[in-house]
């Protein structure tokens, strides 16, 4: 063992059992003295003389014991303990600094720790399976898009048969089907269509029955299913005779052959498994249909050797492939492949993000450093005295550092509380995460938080500590007892001015941003959202079954052999569903749109001729939401038409590209002129765009999207080319905002039933939308078991969910703003206190000579108040410049009338409040006392 | 008499203790102190107490080990003995010492240096 380590180990032992070793040491010294005495008596000394001489030669017993104790134990730990105790005492004593500094540090450390915890949770990469670290994914990687692509059947079969470095090669795709148990209602569930090898790979035995086998994959095999433990418990009441019972997924009836044990959710978060039929007639040879191809490295193989083998095999060339040259196969750790990540990129990214997050510590800690500096300045005499009594400089530096570290540690504990809350919220928001994700506060997160605390203590404590013990210590020494110590330098004053200026400039932005975030939840949607029931409707992709719109069950149509394109089937179903729902008691009207109001996808747009010149990307005006609506939509939501016309049959013709826009759209992007006839086209659009706009008759990207809905690669063309390719849409009508109080414009396209593959249904029901949930499910199940109905929720609940997220954002923003304000106030307080302390004698003398105290104070405070005013003015100027040159919406505060001057006045008030206590102290200066001290 | 005695050079006490244990075999603290004084012919100022601090250090480094035993006159005493690591350390330090003293000797007496 390395010698310092041996010594440390021995010292730790000595520290843990000090009694034994001290006793032995005493015994040893006693033996020494006895032996020495005997020797000396033998040499002719008297017993008394021998004892005295022996003691002299050995040296002072107390010092020896002290020195041996120091040599055997961990003496610095004792000193550290004292420093920590002192640190806690300082927390109590300077409670203002503790509260303000602690809060600011908690928020900064908390933000960093939450980001780390989320990374840590999101990328916990090892599967909790037997040898889970050897499970890999064989992926088709798009080099250009840096994205994983679904794998093709041919590739899967080729790799499975040819590769030697992996075993248990399997494939899976997740499908969504309506689950129907007995005569119950349909309930859409995700199902893993998986090869039997998935169960071999997982090495988990079923709880009941058997897993899927290769025989189940044969085309003629009867349909079977394996279910999860939770499903068995909840849907089948833990029926012991579950094996052999039937379960219906959409139109197909499966026999349950196995129940997997609790917690099993391979490949991602699945509870239902059915065989993946890879043989004819269901072969999908050229289609890239599999979400994942997985395998296990054979003993002795490595990721690199498997990668080399896979590269050598390559992808099977396809007849219709145009993008093959940018596709390469690669072997990836399983969890990374599920997230389509590159481990290297992630490592780099996470480091960058964590670095940036750590930088968040700097502003609050620099502020706290100022306050700590002010405190150490007032303790200058204490340090000077300790210095004189023999404490080294490093000793005092460590002491100050430990005091700040105690504060940071308390802040870190509070921050970990934030992290726990955030993790709990994350878990609540994501019930269906991959099975290997562990929502617990990991050791790494705690370690990272501790690291942030040490970093915070270093920033906030190191500079004040070094300055307090530096050259200026001597001046502290010379002025011992005189009541005046160090000066707070000009830098410090400048920092306070800058702080006030920053606060005055940032406060309006914060107010505006917070308002922008919460305004919809505060003002409400402006219509009776609680009277609407909404649901997502979609078709499952079960290709083998036809469907009808006349209410007969799907299997009969399948028997007829008639195959309708899925789009028109969906269109027919949609119309029929609306017809039947309208006839339902309690439903006053029904509409179908691509999205519910307020939940539409986002895009940027450009208006032809650009009537508003400053509608730049900075302004954010060009950010709009877009939707596709049926002809009933505006009536169902009581949206009045303000100008032009509604959609009618003309707009369904394929050569027309017409839109209706909202009032806010017209105001922000067109201005005072008549919006009708203006033409608009899209720039960047949300990734949902392909689906949401698939129905737009003449949009060229729509047909492409419909052809291959899973292969939307935005990077295939440059953004500029995309903009050029987009259609110009003509505005034919202007309607009121929905929801009211909208901050962004909105575009409505006409919806042609059957051109979209999923849509949102909204039923106007009156005050009790919940009563319609079951009738809605019943009608849909009867109409077609493959019609998937999801997210059946009253509209106001969707808004409530939005509000929760918004309010959380506003809370964090509010906390940060509060910290900035408190730190500014505390900085001013420290400055004022210091000024008063420095001038106590002067105030005393002048007051003894008859000057009225108020005038003295006014003079003392003129400088400080001047700084506050200067700071506030600079703040307004900065806010003005920001508002003028970077007209970003929701930033700058100019959109909220009066908030900028209000913020400046507020900062002046904070300044005055912060000076109140020092002012009171200044007025109480007793001239006689001050003169006597001088 | 006092003026002719020199303080021990810093860092050399460890070397002397190790050497003593090598020559004498297992020995208690008093024996080590006496031995160093005798060999040094009382020319070195040895604060006997510091020998015990030195022994603590050497035990921590595992260059020597300690064991309770009986002295010649049947007194309970702690006996120290050299470990293999201590022997190696002694060899290295001896060589180092000889090199340094040689260099210093040559510096101080250049005429007899060659």
Mean pLDDT of all residues in A232-245: 90
Q: For residue A796, which of A513, A520, A425 has the smallest C-alpha distance?
A: A520
E strands within A79-220? 135-142, 147-149, 151-152, 166-180, 187-194, 208-209
Tell me what pLDDT residue A650 has: 81
Mean pLDDT of all residues in A106-119: 88
Q: Does B57 touch chain A (CB under 8 A)?
A: yes
Average pLDDT for chain B: 86
Q: Is the pLDDT of residue A142 over 50?
A: yes
Tell me what pLDDT residue A299 has: 92
User: CB A38 to CB B57 under 8 A?
Assistant: no
Task: Write out chain A residues lying below 8 Å of B59, CB-based.
Answer: 10
Q: Is the pLDDT of residue A661 over 50?
A: yes
Q: Please tell me the total number of residues recorded for chain A in this structure.
A: 934
Q: Is the pLDDT of residue A559 over 90?
A: no
Nearest CB to B60; choose among A7, A39, A67:
A7
Mean pLDDT of all residues in A667-692: 73
User: CB B71 to CB A35 under 8 A?
Assistant: yes
Q: Is the pLDDT of residue A480 over 70?
A: no
User: CB B30 to CB A32 under 8 A?
Assistant: yes
Average pLDDT for chain A: 79
Q: For residue A597, which of A453, A796, A380 has the smallest C-alpha distance?
A: A796
Least Cα separation, residue A117 to chain B (angstroms): 42
Among A168-172, A852-856, A889-893, name the most confident range: A168-172
Task: Write out chain A residues lying below 8 Å of B33, CB-based.
Answer: 32
**Residue A48 CA to its chain's centroid (Å):** 80
Tell me what pLDDT residue A732 has: 93
Share of chain A above pLDDT 70, in %: 80
Tell me what pLDDT residue A557 has: 37
Tell me what pLDDT residue B93 has: 92
Q: Is the pLDDT of residue A483 over 60?
A: no
Q: Is the pLDDT of residue A349 over 80?
A: no
DSSP annotation string for A99-127: HHHHHHHHHHHHHHHHHHHHHHHHT----
A929 or A162, greater pLDDT = A162
Kindly indicate the confidence band of residue A321, based on its pLDDT and cuts at 50, 70 and 90.
low
Among A334-338, A484-488, A491-495, A856-860, name the most confident range: A334-338
Mean pLDDT of all residues in A609-624: 61
Mean pLDDT of all residues in A892-910: 71
Tell me what pLDDT residue A344 has: 61
Kindly indicate the confidence band of residue A890, based on its pLDDT and cuts at 50, 70 and 90.
low
Q: Does A71 touch chain B (CB under 8 A)?
A: yes
Q: Does A3 touch chain B (CB under 8 A)?
A: yes
Quick count: other Cβ atoms within 10 Å of Cβ A921?
Answer: 14
**Residue A769 contacts residue A794 (beta carbons within 8 Å):** yes
Among A712-716, A854-858, B87-91, name the most confident range: B87-91
**Residue A826 contacts residue A800 (beta carbons within 8 Å):** no
Tell me what pLDDT residue A719 has: 33
**Residue A476 contacts residue A381 (beta carbons within 8 Å):** yes
User: CB B75 to CB A35 under 8 A?
Assistant: yes
Task: Write out chain A residues lying below 8 Å of B48, CB-based.
Answer: 32, 36, 57-59
Which domains, and CATH codes, for chain B?
2-112 (1.10.10.10)
Strand-pairing partners, residue A535, are A761
Q: Is the pLDDT of residue A649 over 70?
A: yes
Strand-pairing partners, residue A662, are A735
CA A522/CA A841 separation, integer angstroms: 55
Q: Which residue of B has its CA nearest to A12?
A: B60
Kindly indicate the confidence band of residue A127, based on its pLDDT and cuts at 50, 70 and 90.
confident
Least Cα separation, residue A48 to chain B (angstroms): 19
Helix, strand or coil for residue A563?
Answer: coil
Residue A772: DSSP 8-state: G
Nearest CB to A31; choose among B60, B62, B75:
B75
Mean pLDDT of all residues in A51-76: 87
Mean pLDDT of all residues in A217-221: 85
**Residue A451 CA to its chain's centroid (Å):** 20
Task: Write out chain B residues lying below 8 Å of A59, CB-based.
Answer: 47-50
Q: Is the pLDDT of residue A5 over 70?
A: yes
Q: Is the pLDDT of residue B12 over 50?
A: yes
pLDDT digits (tens, 9 = 90+) for A407-454: 999 999 999 998 998 888 888 887 778 888 888 888 989 999 999 999
Nearest CB to A71; choose among B34, B56, B75:
B56
pLDDT digits (tens, 9 = 90+) for B37-68: 888 877 777 788 889 999 999 999 999 999 99
Residue A628 to residues A101, A305, A692, A757, A764, Cα–Cα distance (Å): 51, 51, 7, 13, 18
Under 8 Å CB-to-CB from B14, ≥6 apart: which residues? B54, B57, B58, B93
pLDDT digits (tens, 9 = 90+) for A512-526: 777 777 777 777 788
Tell me what pLDDT residue A377 has: 75
Task: Write out chain B residues lying below 8 Å of A57, CB-based.
Answer: 47-48
Tell me what pLDDT residue A272 has: 94
Longest dimension (CA), chain B: 55
Task: Write out chain B residues lying below 8 Å of A1, CB-based.
Answer: 62
User: CB B52 to CB A36 under 8 A?
Assistant: no
Mean pLDDT of all residues in A372-394: 79
Kindly indicate the confidence band of residue A815, based on its pLDDT and cuts at 50, 70 and 90.
confident
Kindly indicate the confidence band of residue A544, based on its pLDDT and cuts at 50, 70 and 90.
very low
**Residue A542 CA to its chain's centroid (Å):** 36
Least Cα separation, residue B45 to chain A (angstroms): 10
Q: Is the pLDDT of residue A687 over 90?
A: no
User: CB B48 to CB A32 under 8 A?
Assistant: yes
Residue A614: DSSP 8-state: T
A175 or A718, greater pLDDT = A175
Q: Which two tokens stand for residue A454?
A: 């040490």
Least Cα separation, residue B100 to chain A (angstroms): 24
Tell me what pLDDT residue A148 has: 79
A86 or A518, greater pLDDT = A86
Tell me what pLDDT residue A150 has: 81
Q: In which region does residue A250 sit, left (phi positive, over 0), alpha (psi from -120 to 50) or beta (all else)?
A: left
Tell me what pLDDT residue A895 has: 61
Least Cα separation, residue B52 to chain A (angstroms): 8
Three-class SS string for A615-683? CCCCCCCCEEEEEEECCCHHHHCCCCEEEECCCCHHHHCCCCCEEEEEHHHHHHHHCCCCCCCCEEEEE
**Which B residues in the span 79-108 are in contact with A, Cβ-Cβ below 8 Å?**
none
Q: Which residue of A has its CA nearest to B73?
A: A35
CA A208/CA B109 separation, integer angstroms: 95
**Residue A190 contacts residue A175 (beta carbons within 8 Å):** yes
Kindly indicate the confidence band of residue A567, based on its pLDDT and cuts at 50, 70 and 90.
low
pLDDT digits (tens, 9 = 90+) for A704-730: 333 333 333 333 333 333 333 468 889
Tell me what pLDDT residue A289 has: 73
Tell me what pLDDT residue A472 has: 53
Tell me what pLDDT residue A702 has: 36
Q: Is the pLDDT of residue A551 over 60?
A: no
> Tokens 């979609």 map to which residue?
A538
Tell me what pLDDT residue A205 has: 92
Task: Write out chain A residues lying below 8 Å of B61, CB-based.
Answer: 3, 6-7
Q: CB contacts < 8 Å between A and B, how many?
A: 69
A202 or A882, greater pLDDT = A202
Tell me what pLDDT residue A125 has: 67
Q: Among A370-384, A590-604, A774-788, A840-854, which is the least confidently predicted range?
A: A840-854
Q: Is the pLDDT of residue A613 over 60?
A: no
Q: Among A454-458, A502-506, A618-622, A880-884, which is the least confidently predicted range?
A: A618-622
Tell me what pLDDT residue A807 has: 75
Mean pLDDT of all residues in B101-111: 85
Q: Is the pLDDT of residue A894 over 80?
A: no
pLDDT digits (tens, 9 = 90+) for A259-286: 999 989 988 889 999 998 776 655 555 5
Longest dimension (CA), chain A: 132
User: CB A6 to CB B61 under 8 A?
Assistant: yes
Q: Does A64 touch chain B (CB under 8 A)?
A: yes
ipTM: 0.92
Task: Give the Cα-Cα-Cα angle A340, A277, A436 (nearest 5 degrees).
Answer: 35
Tell me what pLDDT residue A400 has: 87
Cis amide linkage into residue A806, ω under 30° from 0: no
A94 or A47, greater pLDDT = A47
Q: Does A588 touch chain B (CB under 8 A)?
A: no
Mean pLDDT of all residues in A364-388: 80
Q: Is the pLDDT of residue A745 over 80?
A: yes
A375 or A195, greater pLDDT = A195
Interface mutation vs chain B, best among A2, A29, A32, A65, most B CBs within 10 Å:
A32
Quick count: other Cβ atoms within 10 Å of Cβ B41?
Answer: 7
Q: Does A36 touch chain B (CB under 8 A)?
A: yes
Bridging pattern class, strands A272-275 and A187-194: parallel
Share of chain A above pLDDT 90, in %: 19
CA A663/CA A912 separation, integer angstroms: 45
Q: For residue A109, which of A442, A424, A416 has the smallest C-alpha distance?
A: A416
Q: Which residue of B has its CA nearest to A38?
A: B73
CA A921/CA B78 separation, integer angstroms: 67
Q: Is the pLDDT of residue A341 over 70?
A: no
């Amino acid at each position: 063992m390395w010698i310092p380590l041996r010594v440390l180990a021995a010292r730790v032992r000595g520290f843990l059992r000090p009694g034994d070793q001290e006793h032995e040491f005493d015994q040893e010294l006693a033996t020494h003295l006895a032996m020495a005495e005997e020797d000396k008596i033998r040499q002719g000394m008297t017993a008394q003389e021998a004892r005295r001489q022996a003691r002299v030669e050995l040296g002072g017993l107390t010092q020896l014991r002290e020195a041996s104790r120091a040599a055997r134990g961990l003496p610095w730990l004792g000193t550290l303990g004292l420093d920590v105790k002192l640190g806690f005492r300082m927390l109590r004593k300077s409670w203002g600094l503790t509260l303000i500094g602690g809060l600011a540090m908690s928020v900064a450390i908390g933000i960093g720790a939450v980001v780390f915890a989320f990374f840590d949770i999101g990328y916990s990469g090892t599967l909790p399976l037997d040898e889970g670290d050897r499970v890999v994914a064989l992926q088709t990687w798009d080099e250009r898009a840096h994205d994983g692509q679904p794998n093709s059947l041919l590739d899967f079969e080729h790799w499975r048969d040819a590769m030697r470095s992996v075993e248990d090669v399997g494939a899976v795709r997740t499908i969504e089907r309506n689950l129907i148990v007995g005569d119950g209602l349909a309930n859409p569930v995700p199902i893993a269509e998986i090869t039997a090898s998935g169960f071999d790979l997982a090495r988990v035995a079923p709880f009941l029955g058997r897993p899927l086998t290769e025989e189940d994959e044969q085309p003629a095999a009867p349909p079977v299913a394996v279910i999860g433990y939770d499903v068995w418990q909840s849907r089948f009441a833990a029926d012991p005779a579950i094996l052999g019972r039937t379960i219906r997924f959409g139109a197909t009836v499966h026999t349950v052959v196995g129940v997997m044990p609790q917690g099993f959710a391979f490949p991602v978060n699945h509870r239902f498994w059915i065989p993946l039929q890879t043989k004819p007639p269901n072969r999908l040879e050229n289609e890239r249909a599999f979400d994942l191809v997985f395998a296990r490295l054979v003993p002795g193989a490595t990721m690199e050797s498997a990668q080399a083998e896979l590269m050598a095999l390559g992808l099977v060339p396809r007849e219709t492939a145009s993008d093959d040259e940018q596709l390469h196969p690669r072997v990836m750790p399983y969890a990374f492949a599920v997230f389509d990540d590159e481990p290297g990129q992630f490592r780099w990214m996470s480091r960058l993000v964590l670095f940036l997050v750590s930088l968040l510590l700097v502003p609050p800690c620099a502020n706290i450093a100022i306050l700590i500096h002010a405190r150490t300045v007032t303790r200058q005499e204490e340090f000077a005295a300790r210095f004189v009594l023999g404490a080294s400089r490093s000793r005092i530096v460590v002491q100050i550092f430990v005091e700040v570290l105690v504060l940071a540690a308390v802040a870190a504990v509070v921050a970990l509380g934030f992290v726990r809350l955030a993790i709990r919220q994350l878990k609540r928001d994501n019930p269906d995460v991959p099975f290997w994700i562990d929502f617990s506060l990991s050791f790494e997160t705690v370690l990272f938080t501790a690291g942030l605390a040490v970093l915070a203590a270093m920033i906030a404590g190191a500079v004040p500590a070094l300055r307090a013990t530096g050259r200026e210590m001597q001046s502290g020494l010379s002025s011992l007892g005189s009541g005046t110590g160090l000066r707070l330098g000009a830098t410090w004053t400048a920092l306070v001015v800058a702080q006030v200026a920053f606060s005055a400039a940032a406060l309006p932005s914060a107010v505006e941003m917070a308002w922008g975030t919460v305004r919809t939840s505060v003002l409400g949607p402006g219509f009776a959202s609680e009277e609407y029931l909404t649901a997502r409707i979609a078709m499952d992709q079960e290709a083998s079954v036809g469907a009808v719109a006349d209410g007969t069950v799907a299997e009969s149509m399948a028997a007829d052999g008639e195959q309708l394109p899925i789009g028109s089937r969906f269109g027919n179903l949609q119309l029929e569903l609306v017809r039947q729902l309208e006839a339902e008691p309690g439903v006053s009207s029904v509409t179908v749109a691509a999205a519910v109001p307020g939940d539409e996808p986002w895009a940027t747009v450009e208006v032809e001729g650009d009537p508003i010149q400053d509608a730049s990307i900075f302004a954010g005006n060009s950010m709009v939401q877009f939707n596709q609506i049926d002809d009933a939509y505006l009536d169902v939501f009581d949206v009045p038409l303000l100008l032009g016309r509604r959609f009618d049959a003309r707009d369904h013709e394929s050569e027309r590209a017409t839109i209706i826009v909202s009032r806010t759209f017209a105001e922000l992007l067109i201005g005072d002129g008549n919006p009708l006839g203006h033409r608009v086209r899209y720039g960047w659009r949300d990734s949902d765009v392909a689906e949401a706009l698939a129905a737009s008759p003449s949009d060229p990207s729509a047909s492409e999207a419909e052809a291959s809905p899973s292969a939307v690669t935005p990077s295939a063309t440059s953004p500029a080319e995309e903009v050029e390719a987009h259609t110009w849409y003509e505005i034919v009508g202007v309607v009121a905002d929905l929801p009211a109080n909208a901050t962004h414009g909105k575009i409505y396209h006409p919806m042609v039933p059957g051109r979209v593959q999923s849509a949102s249904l909204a039923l106007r029901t009156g005050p009790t939308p919940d009563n319609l949930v079951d009738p809605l499910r019943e009608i849909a199940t009867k109409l077609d078991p493959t019609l998937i109905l999801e997210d059946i929720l009253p509209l106001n609940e969707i808004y409530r969910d939005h509000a929760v997220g918004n309010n959380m954002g506003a809370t964090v923003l509010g906390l940060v703003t509060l910290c900035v304000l408190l730190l500014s106030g505390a900085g001013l307080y420290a400055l004022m206190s210091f000024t008063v302390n420095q001038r106590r004698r002067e105030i005393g003398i002048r007051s003894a000579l008859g000057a009225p105290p108020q005038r003295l104070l006014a003079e003392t405070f003129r400088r400080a108040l001047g700084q506050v005013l200067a700071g506030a003015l600079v703040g307004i100027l900065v806010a003005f410049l920001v508002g003028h040159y970077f007209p970003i919406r929701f930033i700058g505060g100019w959109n909220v009338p009066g908030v900028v001057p209000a913020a400046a006045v507020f900062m002046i008030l904070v300044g005055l409040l912060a000076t109140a206590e020092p002012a009171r102290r200044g007025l109480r200066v007793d001239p006689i006392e001050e003169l006597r001290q001088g | 008499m006092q003026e002719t005695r020199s303080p021990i050079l810093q860092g050399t006490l460890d070397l002397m203790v190790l050497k003593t244990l090598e020559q004498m075999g297992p020995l208690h603290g008093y024996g080590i102190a006496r031995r160093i004084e005798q060999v040094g012919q009382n020319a070195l100022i040895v604060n006997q107490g510091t020998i015990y601090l030195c022994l603590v250090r050497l035990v921590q480094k595992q260059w020597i080990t300690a064991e309770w035993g009986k002295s010649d006159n049947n007194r309970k005493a702690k006996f120290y003995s050299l470990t293999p690591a201590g022997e190696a350390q002694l060899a290295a330090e001896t060589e180092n010492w000889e090199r340094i003293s040689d260099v210093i000797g040559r510096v101080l007496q250049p005429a007899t240096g060659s």
